[in-house]
A and B are shown apart, each in its own frame.
Chain A
Amino acid sequence: MSFTLPPLPYAIDALEPYISAKTLEFHHGKHHQAYVTNVNNLIVGTEFENANLETIIKKAEGGIFNNGAQVYNHTFYFEQFSPKAATEPSGALKAAIEKSFGSFDAFKEAFTKAAATLFGSGWVWLVKDATGALSIVQTSNAGCPLRDGLTPLMTCDVWEHAYYLDKQNLRPKYIEDFWKILDWKVVEGRF
């Protein structure tokens, strides 16, 4: 199947001042779009020509995996933000976070550390395993927890392109701002 770039679920400047319109123009309009274009070109004539993204993420290697997973990862990332974000989880998700991490603050601290220390390009995820337990995982480059049978609930892109125009080398500042626009209502829906 041929993939298309999903539009952002908010205006290009909606996440200002935390993520600038300029960053989103490149991140969504150029990077995300390029992954879509690349995977569409690469799957032609392969066993993945009619596969969905989940199949590509679980079974493909090389360029098809990299571009297919990056399409999924970025869609997942952009969808979880809102200019009117619920900045804390509630209900069953809140309880699950407290069960796995002790408290929401302890979770935030552990996730922030994982995002700050991932070396190079990649993603940090809140995931749910088959037993319903939550954990934090780091993946390099295009890595995606679906490949390991885990259910992603939330993610932070720590490729430099996600923050370099706004924050340059100050990744911790980007992560600090990330929490202000992450909409826990979206995460609860996924949970």
Chain B
Amino acid sequence: MSFELTKLPYAYDALEPYIDAQTMEIHHQKHHGAYTNNLNAAVQGTAMEGKTIEQLLAGISALPVAVRNNGGGFYNHNLYWEIMAPGGAPAPEGDLAKAIDAAFGSYKEFKDAFTKAALTRFGSGWAWLVKQGDSLVISSTPNQDNPLMDLAEVKGTPILGVDVWEHAYYLKYQNRRPDYVEAFFSVINWDEVAKRFKG
């Protein structure tokens, strides 16, 4: 069994004007597609074949760097596409909203802290909202690392993530990462994030 590049749950232009169709298409087909192919090539014919992506990430420190980079890229982009949607709720609700208030004080303080994590990640990487038990923390990781990896500084289950590799925003926003991160908040699928929070 090999890993497959899943289709987006919406059209490439569905997140316009926040994320443009050309960016979405290249990001999904070329970047995510390459991570998927390279992951398959790295695990094929080894003892890793047949393991789930979560199993691979949990023991990543003992695996080849190609699995860390491409397995991370495969998982992270799957999450990224799913936690976005056109016309989602403007803010979290219910238990997730309560957990965010408990962890950060308010939605506004959460948004500021998450934005800061996304803007201060130097180079390529991701910013995350991470579930640890019933609690929530914010972290960021370099390149395609993520909080499911045993080598991550902050470990837990990522329930929201923003890609801050330049390929995620350069065609539309160029050097203006802050504008991209602000726009990202307009397309978060909070229902999906709440589902992941529930577990």
Listed in ascending order, the chain A residues whose CB lies under 8 Å from chain B are 26, 30-31, 34, 66, 119-122, 140-142, 159-161, 164-165, 168-169
Q: How far is the CB of B164 from chain A (nearest CB, A)?
A: 10
Q: Are A164 and B123 in contact (CB under 8 A)?
A: no
Q: Are B69 and A30 in contact (CB under 8 A)?
A: no
Bound: A142/B124 CA distance, A: 11
- B31 contacts which chain A residues (CB < 8 A)? 169
Q: Are B69 and A119 in contact (CB under 8 A)?
A: yes
Q: Number of B interface residues at 8 Å Cβ cutoff, please give it.
A: 20
- B175 contacts which chain A residues (CB < 8 A)? 26, 30-31, 34, 161
Q: Are A30 and B26 in contact (CB under 8 A)?
A: no
Assuming the A-B contacts A34-B175, A160-B166, A168-B171, are A120 and B124 also in contact, with contact meaning beta carbons closer than 8 angstroms in the complex?
Answer: yes
Assuming the A-B contacts A30-B174, A168-B30, are A161 and B166 also in contact, with contact meaning beta carbons closer than 8 angstroms in the complex?
Answer: yes
- A122 contacts which chain B residues (CB < 8 A)? 123
Q: Are B170 and A161 in contact (CB under 8 A)?
A: yes
Listed in ascending order, the chain B residues whose CB lies under 8 Å from chain A are 26, 30-31, 34, 65, 69, 122-125, 142-144, 165-167, 170-171, 174-175
Closest to A26 in B: B174
| Of listed A34, A66, A140, A160, residue having the most chain B CB within 10 A | A160
Q: Are A165 and B171 in contact (CB under 8 A)?
A: yes
- B34 contacts which chain A residues (CB < 8 A)? 169
Q: Are B30 and A169 in contact (CB under 8 A)?
A: yes
Given contacts A120-B165, A141-B123, A168-B26, 5 further A-B contacts (CB under 8 A): A119-B144, A120-B125, A140-B123, A141-B122, A164-B171
- B167 contacts which chain A residues (CB < 8 A)? 160, 164, 168-169
Bound: A159/B143 CA distance, A: 12
Bound: A138/B15 CA distance, A: 36
- A168 contacts which chain B residues (CB < 8 A)? 26, 30, 167, 171
Bound: A168/B124 CA distance, A: 15
Q: Are B143 and A120 in contact (CB under 8 A)?
A: yes
Q: How far is the CB of A140 from chain B (nearest CB, A)?
A: 7
Query: Which 4 pairs of residues, A with B, have the shortest CB-CB distance?
Result: A160-B166, A141-B123, A121-B123, A120-B143
Closest to A140 in B: B123
5 contacts between A and B (CB under 8 A): A119-B69, A119-B144, A121-B166, A140-B123, A168-B167
Q: Which of the residues A30, A120, A165 comes within 8 Å of B123, measured between beta carbons? A: A120
Q: How far is the CB of B165 from chain A (nearest CB, A)?
A: 7
Bound: A18/B31 CA distance, A: 22
Q: Are A142 and B166 in contact (CB under 8 A)?
A: no
Q: Which of the residues B122, B125, B170 comes within 8 Å of A164, measured between beta carbons? A: B170
Q: How far is the CB of A172 from chain B (nearest CB, A)?
A: 12
Q: Are A160 and B122 in contact (CB under 8 A)?
A: no
